[in-house]
Chains A and B, each alone.
Chain A
Amino acid sequence: MSARPIATTRSAAGLPTGRLAVWWLVVSEIVIFGGLLASYIMYRLAHDAFAVQAAHTNTWIGAFNTLVLLTSSLSAVMAHTAAERGDGPKAARLLWATIVGALTFLAVKAFEWTEEIQHGFTITSSTFWSFYYCAAGLHASHVIAGAIVMMFVARDAARNRELHRVELAGIYWHFVDIVWIFLFPLLYIAK
């Protein structure tokens, strides 16, 4: 019987292949979000009218969502610590706390967008709002993806299976947090 190599036990360039893949994903995401944010900054600097439109965004909602994401990053990294210690059930509970953070973020976003759309600020209202919905929407889609991934990882972790994936989900989640750390001042504070 031949032993099949298992991805989790393989390593490339001194890293487990799973972790290398997540870092590779993060690097490619930097280019995606970086291009979008760099374009936004160009327009923001060139058009004073952007500030007039940005004045309609709600700083407190943006700040609250920043608080939610920073807190969810804390639970994600503590889940990683629990997984390192072999405590799968605790890691799963902390991952579920992170998922609650993701859902809270999305619920607040849904409320915020509903308000803005009802006030006539839609994706076609102006270039600022096009950037706003595109950047925040792309970020929110990453939040949704992260929450779904963490549900699967938490399910396995609760049974003490595939605990290394807790760290991988965490690396991705912290990146999503970092993107929001930059989106927050760009869309909500620079008025």
Chain B
Amino acid sequence: MSEHAHAEAHSPSHYVRIWALLLALLVVSVAGPMLGVMWVTLVTAFGIAVVKAYLVAKHFMHVNVEQRFIAYALLTALVFMLLFFAATAPDVMKKDGTQWEKPSWKVPAAAEAGGHGASH
């Protein structure tokens, strides 16, 4: 990065532009789900959250100009999060399997069907 480009990337006006962009994305993330369309909600709420996090990490935390191993360490932590999800979700998210079931999940489901509301 040249001296001029570096100064530009650290100038207050640059940060204000990124902040304004983040606010615009916030407006979209609130307005999008109001349409009530599932895929629009997913894209505007969660897709935009990823974009906002990227903008903050790159422009405010300066991850892109930090030593490369910092980005790798951050990504490794995210991979561990995904590993945790992948390893436990098949068990946590299923009510029953071929030779097992979760009785505690059956009761709330039955209660919900009866109109008494579930505990979850």
Contacts and interface: CB of A to CB of B under 8 A. Distances in A.
Majority DSSP secondary structure for residues of B touching A: helix
Interface of B: 10-12, 15-16, 18-19, 22-23, 26, 29-30, 33, 41, 45-46, 49, 52-53, 56-57, 59-61, 66-67, 69-70, 73-74, 76-78, 80-82, 84-85, 88-89, 92-95, 108, 112, 117-120
A175 interface: yes
A177 B30 CA distance: 17
Contact of A126 (B22, B33, B81, B120): B120
Contacts of B16: 74
A15 B63 CA distance: 13
A177 B82 CA distance: 21
A34 interface: yes
Contacts of B119: 126-127
A178 B15 CA distance: 16
Interface of A: 13-15, 23-24, 26-28, 30-31, 34-35, 37-39, 41-43, 45-47, 49-50, 53, 59, 63, 66-67, 70-71, 73-74, 76-78, 81, 84, 126-128, 170-171, 174-175, 177-178, 181-182, 184-185, 189-191
